[in-house]
Amino acid sequence: MNRRLALGAALLAVMAAVAPAATAHAAPTTPDLDALTQALRNTTAAGAPGAMARFSGPDGVSVKTVGVRDKITGSAMDARARFRIGSVTKTFTSVVLLQLVDEGKVDPDTSVNRYLPGLLPDDRITVRHLLSHRSGLSDYTNAMFEHTVPGFEAVRNRVFGYQELVNLSLAEPRTNEPGAAYAYSNTNFVVLGMLIEKATGNAVAKEYERRIFKPLKLRNTSYVHPGTQIRGPHAHGYLHPDEAGAPLVDSTEQTVSWAQSAGAVISDPADLNTFTSALLGGRLLPARLLDAMLTVTPTDTTNTRFYGLGLRRYDLSCGTSVYGHTGTVQGFYTYAFSTRDGRRSLAAMANTSNRGQANTALGGTLEAAFCGKPAPKATARGFGIAPAEMDLPERNAR
């Protein structure tokens, strides 16, 4: 029976519209700065206290900010401010894991249970399934944040062990058979954190530092778990409650222990530009493993959004494809994307969350930056309507 299920999963994986790296299309090398500013204004109009974007390309760097980074002091948003990048962390985790693959310490097509005996209830779940969100493991954050603010306050200062988070997932039904379908789950990247620590004998913080932060000189990027503070100049994050009209909650300080290797990195726009450019430019992984990251499957019915190995691909209205990740953590939305050659990069942030309209508006920065025109209106192309999925469950937006 297990063999038949495995064969069925393999056939489904082949039948899923696997998409290679997109064909390059001619596009402007400079962003439409007016459209970029308007996308940020749309974001604050939708409920974010502030928003910012930094574009890096062959012609230099362009920075735009609107609103405030601190509602109490009224301090203006500053593109040099640090913030929590949420699930953009997943791309950092994937890079570390794939470097271990390159070193022969991990085989992506081997059962996770070979490396972490007895952890998962199904020996068919491989490392690749985790990286591509095809494991079928339930996302424990769905129940954890069913009620947004109470859920957050319950975990704001908690320190979880990896095993505790995995146990929360295993208490829920699995979403699908291993390999059968894409289903985004933070659990996958919690398990990858465990695997990195088992394979290296080091905490993930040390592996991020020595493999990515230091080599790329990312001086404003850190992993401070279980510390709660964002050191240095930073933006405050503001969480929208589920109840309409309720006051925003300052969610800046928290352990982010509920996410860890799935979402606890802190950074700034310049460092994110450097990171995505370096990754797509081939400075962090050999070509064969970067190609594996970029081999993607659709994540929704628009056929404009795809997922590879810890990396998203968005196909924009002008024909340009960009690669990177979105991030949602309480109080912050983030977009960090580059073109396939790594020569043009955008990092954008809004200091709010649980406000889908703001996240959608912030996505308009991609069109402005990479297509040189305003985001399209509500169409099947995607960015003019509510995002098809979120990195965390959103209640206020529904």
User: Catalytic site residues?
Assistant: 87
Determine whether 213 is exposed, middle or buried from the number of CB atoms within 10 Å of its CB (0-12, 13-18, 19+): buried
Task: For residue 201, give every residue at least 6 positions away whose Cβ sits within 8 Å of its Cβ, in sequence order, or none.
Answer: none
Q: Is 391 within 8 Å of 145 (Cβ atoms)? A: no
Distance from the Cα of residue 97 to its chain's centroid: 16
The region, left, alpha or beta by phi > 0 then psi within -120 to 50, assigned to residue 142 is alpha
Provide the 8-state DSSP code for 223: -
Task: For residue 281, give every residue at least 6 positions away whose Cβ sits within 8 Å of its Cβ, in sequence order, or none.
Answer: 341, 342, 343
Query: 345: helix, coil or strand?
Result: strand
Task: For residue 251, give every residue at least 6 positions away whose Cβ sits within 8 Å of its Cβ, in sequence order, or none.
Answer: 152, 156, 237, 238, 239, 330, 331, 353
